[in-house]
Amino acid sequence: MADEEYNEDVEVQSWFNGFWCEDEFDPDKIFSSLASKHPNGLPCILGKQFFGSFHICVRVVFEDVISWIIRVPLPFRLLQRDAHTEREVAILQCLQERTDIPVPEIIAYGFGGTRHPALGPFIITTFIHAIPLTDWWKDPKSKETRLRSDIDEEVVKKVYRQAANIILELASLRFSAIGTLAATDDEHLTWSIKSLPWSITLQEAERNHGIQPQAANGPFDNVKDWLSYIFHHHEKIILEIPGPIQSQDLSNLRRFQDLAPRYISNSSCDDFRLHCDDFGAGNMLVDGDYNIVCLGD
């Protein structure tokens, strides 16, 4: 796993170096143009570039010391970059409007083929002065992301308590269907469920193996239909990616499929909760006292 992560980091850096040097791509001009939305029109300089799980992030620093982050989804980690950006914008706006969960403020965003085709879709947010929790917790002697042995138990409890509160607050947002959150373009911003749900499992199956979600009339108004869709998609993944325990994986999946109806209702429900299936330490930005000050990629 560590070697795979290292190879991916090398791939990302190689792509970025080539992309940054393309003749038709002038990063100073493009990012300066994006930053022109600053209220005072101040000039800016490009700061550090760094990578999240799915994005390259570029810090933009203005003369008045205000900083922004321009986040661009990586093309070989996200095949549906515009759709991903649209989903992310809707989530960030919703969390900022309807919860106390700390997220960066959106300054501007755009999609591929609009403002800057060479750049593709992007989101500009405020820059948060904090450090990813994984940087604090990671054992520097380990190639894998393991917890340092000298972390105080009370610190661990403090972080887990905050994470639990965030998950509970996410779950406090109720929706009438299972699917992807979308924002309206009305005068007063509202949110609704408009399309098929998207998860890290669906994303990785498409990115790594080219297995696209099956056509479905999502969103779903009941758990039974949603699970049926998920079962069929996982079955497709298992069948198309042969492995040493393929038969056991199929057996486990079908056993789960047989058991699931005992615990779910067939009727529709207007009480579905917001959920993030890849929420982890890498998404938590903390200060020196291990207070979670922002969530991000």
Alpha-carbon span 294 to 287, nearest angstrom: 9
Q: Is residue 232 domain-shared with residue 155, that is, in the same domain?
A: no
Q: Is residue 211 domain-shared with residue 255, that is, in the same domain?
A: yes
Q: Is residue 141 domain-shared with residue 233, that is, in the same domain?
A: no
Q: Is residue 123 domain-shared with residue 149, that is, in the same domain?
A: no
Q: Is residue 144 domain-shared with residue 287, that is, in the same domain?
A: yes
Find the domain containing 80 and state its range.
2-127
**Count of domains in the chain?**
3
Q: Is residue 196 domain-shared with residue 116, that is, in the same domain?
A: no
The CATH number linked to 14 is: 3.30.200.20
Q: Is residue 90 domain-shared with residue 147, that is, in the same domain?
A: no
Residue linked to tokens 């010391």: 65
Q: Is residue 118 domain-shared with residue 168, that is, in the same domain?
A: no
Q: Is residue 163 domain-shared with residue 250, that is, in the same domain?
A: no
DSSP-assigned letter for residue 191: E
Q: 175 has which bridge partners?
A: 272
pTM of the model: 0.83
Per-residue pLDDT of the chain (297 residues; tens, 9 = 90+): 444 444 455 655 565 555 555 545 566 677 766 666 666 777 888 888 887 778 888 898 888 788 999 898 887 778 788 888 999 999 999 999 999 999 999 998 888 766 666 678 899 999 999 998 988 888 777 777 677 888 899 999 999 999 999 999 999 999 989 999 998 876 778 888 988 888 887 877 877 777 777 666 678 888 888 888 888 888 888 888 777 888 899 999 999 999 988 888 766 677 898 888 888 888 899 999 999 999 986
Return the pLDDT at 279. Answer: 87
**Quick check: 109 and 89 in contact, CB under 8 A?**
yes
CA pseudo-torsion sign 14, 59, 139, 208: negative
Q: Is residue 282 domain-shared with residue 151, that is, in the same domain?
A: yes
- 70, two tokens: 């321009």
Q: Is residue 84 domain-shared with residue 142, that is, in the same domain?
A: no
H or E segment to which residue 246 belongs: helix 246-259
Q: Is residue 138 domain-shared with residue 43, that is, in the same domain?
A: no
